[in-house]
Each structure stands twice: as structure tokens, then as C-alpha cells.
Amino acid sequence: MKNSLKNILINLFIHKYAYPITTFMNAEELAAELIRFNTEVPPGNEEACAAFLRDYFLDLRLEECEVVLHRFAENRANLLVRVGPKGQAGLLLSGHIDVVPAGDHSLWENPPFEPKIVGDKLYGRGASDMKSAVAALVKAIENYKDKKLRRGIIFVATAGEEIGCDGLEALISDGKIKERDAMYGIIGEPTNLRVVRAHKGGTTFRITFHGKSAHSSRPELGINAIENASRFILEIAELRNRLKEIIDPDLGTTVISTTMINGGTKENVIPEKCQIIVDCRRIPLHSDRQIMAELNKIVDKIKNLEPSYNASIEIKFNYEALNIPKNHQLVLIAEEILGHKSEVAPYGTEGPIYQRIEIPTIILGPGKVENNIHGPNEYIEIKQIYDAINVYSEFIRRICI
């Protein structure tokens, strides 16, 4: 009986006063634990990873801290953490916990969701894009767990960035993040720790061509959807040339390309249906509506020549451009901390969504495209994780302390 009571008291003491083992993880160990969660999108399954991060923050026992696991679909969740005084907008630190599919596992030297350290590198799906950055953001906040904050920190781990930012959109639509919730934002996407203040917007279109099937020996009895698609594809190349006439001083020109095609049912059947995917990377001067209008003009042009021509266009994926001015205070702070001028990028991020709710946001994180991002054997140099922690910690010191 005495031993049982003693054990109960010891467990109570440990629970109340001792830090759980997770808080003693170093940065690469935390990154490795995040990589172990298979958060491929589709389907997502980010909730377990978000719950792990929730427990990590609860283990830290931060003062003035609110931790919210935000479920928005089955097995899917974001994590939102607010640290510091309420009503004092400070710094938003954000990263996504979903990853692109690992593809053919046989192309990996080590299973993609079994992280492995080889020399000075950490390998695994999401090592660079972007679970190491998420770990660095968490560790930077942890550096200040015993400091009094003058302005608040918001940490956001989002789901679904790779398939249209549905996690962040759900956070905003559910009122978990509001306009001007932070003075400044940083997203830890892999930039090789370069400051990125602008990138193009992007729209992916799915275009379906409707024809009429017939035996391939009598093509005149049918309407060939693949041939109709080919006419449209040639017009896309012409549109790309026209779009080059308008140049953004930072981001260059809008580019548009046909990237996928799918059609036909059998080798001896005139195809009645064909689909193509058209990818467009837009400068701010070109909206998704403008590009849609250009595509509809192509349909009308061909239809005037061939009345049986039938095509329907829908937007599959869309994000806006990020465009933070060169002289913005956040950009100047970042340039001073990093010691180099800001840059622009060709890819998309969640930055424009934060910009939409009046949180000016830059992109800055460890990792780089050359680290096999979206390919097999993705990795990150461990030194970059620690460099990122130092950079994020300095932002916290300047803005929130």
C-alpha cells in the first residue's frame, strides 16, 4: 500500500514538474519525428502529425499559450498556437505538414517515411519541403519559453498546402486566424535561407473535349476529341507568345503550358472524350479570370471554323501572386538579419493567403530545390536547420521581445 501511494505521488510530481522527453529532442530529431508521419496529399492524414506537435507544445508549458488542434475533415487537421500577450499583434510563423506523394518507393535508398541521418544530411519525404523548417520554427519559439513577450507569436502548421491550401483556407473561414492577427509573417518554405518577397500566382485548368465515338475505319462518322484537343494545344503555344509581351519588373512574364493529356478508349475507336491540363504561372497583372477569358476565346475561335467543336473549361487549382514591396519594413528587417537582398521565386506558397488578410508575409526557410524536393531521396543539410533556428530566433527577438 505504501509503495503504491509512493508511486502515485512520484507520477504526480513527474506530470506536474518534469518536462516530458519530447522537449529534449534536438532539431534534427524533431524533424525526423515529423517525417515519420505519412502525410501525403492526397489523401492527407495530417491530423496525427498535428496532434504530435500539439502535444509537443503542451509539454513545453509555455506561459500565455493557447494550443488549438483544428480539425476540418476526417483525419485532417491544422495546428494553431498563440504565445504571448493577447491583442498585441506580433509575428506569425507558418509551415505546412503535408507532403507530395513519395512515388515509387523502390527509387528511394531508404524508405521515405523512415528518416535516416547519413553524414551531415537528414533523408526522408518532407526533409526539405518542409518538415525540417516546421521543426526549426518550433525550436525557435522554444528558445524563448522563459522570456516575457512584448508582442505575440502565432505558430501555424497547415494541412493541404500541396493541393490548394485547403487547411489554411479552413482556418481562416472558421475564424481561427483573422485580419491583421500579426504584424508580419514568415513561411518556412525551402529558399536556401534566402529572403523571398514575391512569386507568381498560378492557375491550373482542366479542359474537357467532347466528341462522338465511331469505328476508326469510318472516322467521318464520329468526332475525334483528341484531334480537337490538339487544335487547342497549338493555340496554347500561340497564347504563351502573346502573354510574353507584358513584363513584370520583378517576376518577368506570365507563362502557360499544356502539361497533361488523357483520352481514348481503344486503339480502333474514334475517341469521344479527351482531357488536358493547362498550367499557368501568372504575374500580378494577369488574373485567373483574364486567363480564363483567353482560353474561352480559343474555344470560340475554333468553333467558328468547326461548329461541332465542344470544349468545357474548369479551374482545378488556383493561387494568387505574392508581392511584398522591396522597401517594406519586414523585407528590410529580413535583409538586415540575413545580410543579402530579397529575391523572387517561380513557385507558389500560402503567402498570398496571409497577404489577403493583411498579414504581410515573406518566404524564408532551410532546404533548396536541389535537395530532391518532390523527388526520391529528398534530404536537408542538418546545419541549415540550425541556421534557420538562429534566423527565426532573431526575428522573434526583434519583433516580439
Query: Is residue 9 included in any domain, yes or no?
Result: no
Of the candidates 264, 291, 319, which is a domain's last residue? Answer: 319
User: In the prediction, which pLDDT does 29 show?
Assistant: 97
For residues 59 and 41, what is the distance between their CA atoms, to the nearest angstrom? 28
Torsions phi, psi for 261 (to 5 deg): -145, 140
Do residues 42 and 155 both lie within one domain? yes
For each of the chain's 401 residues, which pLDDT tens digit applies? 444 444 444 444 434 444 444 557 999 999 999 999 999 999 999 999 999 999 999 999 998 999 999 999 999 999 999 999 988 999 999 999 999 999 999 999 999 999 999 999 999 999 999 999 999 999 999 999 999 999 999 999 999 999 989 999 999 999 999 999 999 999 999 999 999 999 999 999 999 999 999 999 999 999 999 999 999 999 999 999 999 999 999 899 999 999 999 999 999 999 999 999 999 999 989 999 999 999 999 999 999 999 999 999 999 989 899 999 999 999 999 999 999 999 999 889 999 999 999 999 999 999 998 888 999 999 999 999 999 999 999 999 999 99
Q: 395 near 218, Cβ under 8 Å?
A: no
Q: Is 28 a catalytic residue?
A: no
User: In the prediction, which pLDDT does 20 show?
Assistant: 47
Do residues 224 and 84 both lie within one domain? no
Do residues 41 and 135 both lie within one domain? yes
Q: Is 109 a catalytic residue?
A: no
User: In the prediction, which pLDDT does 22 show?
Assistant: 52
- Measured between alpha carbons, how far apart are the two ends of the chain, in Å? 50
Query: Is residue 94 included in any domain, yes or no?
Result: yes
Do residues 243 and 364 both lie within one domain? no
Do residues 34 and 138 both lie within one domain? yes
Bridge partners (DSSP) listed for residue 123: 116, 379
195: number of Cβ within 10 Å: 23
Bridge partners (DSSP) listed for residue 317: 204
Q: 41 near 57, Cβ under 8 Å?
A: no
Query: Is residue 12 included in any domain, yes or no?
Result: no
DSSP 107: G
Tell me the CATH number at 372: 3.40.630.10
Do residues 181 and 251 both lie within one domain? no
Do residues 194 and 205 both lie within one domain? no
Query: Is residue 160 included in any domain, yes or no?
Result: yes
Query: Is residue 7 included in any domain, yes or no?
Result: no
Q: How is 322-358 classified by DSSP, letter by letter? A: EE--TT-HHHHHHHHHHTS--EEESS--SHHHHHHTT
Torsions phi, psi for 151 (to 5 deg): -130, 155
Query: Is residue 14 included in any domain, yes or no?
Result: no
Q: Which domain holds residue 212?
A: 201-319
Do residues 189 and 229 both lie within one domain? no
| Strand ranges, E, within 115-183 | 116-118, 121-123, 153-158
CA proximity to 100, closest of 78, 130, 72, 74: 130
- In the set 40, 98, 189, 381, the catalytic residue is 98
Q: 178 near 104, Cβ under 8 Å?
A: no
CA proximity to 128, closest of 367, 325, 332, 339: 367
Tell me the CATH number at 281: 3.30.70.360
Of the candidates 288, 319, 350, which is a domain's last residue? Answer: 319
3-state secondary structure 232-269: HHHHHHHHHHHHCCCCECCCECCEEEEEEEEECCCCCE
For residues 231 and 228, what is the distance between their CA atoms, to the nearest angstrom? 5
Q: Which residue has the cell 466528341?
A: 211
Do residues 188 and 109 both lie within one domain? yes
CA proximity to 206, closest of 316, 320, 309, 288: 316
Of the candidates 264, 286, 319, which is a domain's last residue? Answer: 319
CA proximity to 389, closest of 21, 30, 22, 24: 30
Torsions phi, psi for 257 (to 5 deg): -150, 150
Query: Is residue 373 included in any domain, yes or no?
Result: yes
User: In the prediction, which pLDDT does 21 show?
Assistant: 44
45: number of Cβ within 10 Å: 18
- In the set 161, 181, 248, 320, the catalytic residue is 161
CA distances 332 to 163, 177, 323, 400, Å, are: 32, 25, 15, 17
Q: 317 near 203, Cβ under 8 Å?
A: yes
Query: Is residue 4 included in any domain, yes or no?
Result: no
Do residues 337 and 222 both lie within one domain? no
Give the pairing of strands 116-118 and 91-96. unpaired
CA proximity to 239, closest of 279, 199, 179, 189: 279
CA angle 306, 310, 315 (to 5 degrees): 135
Do residues 270 and 337 both lie within one domain? no
- Give the total number of structural domains in the chain: 2
Do residues 275 and 388 both lie within one domain? no
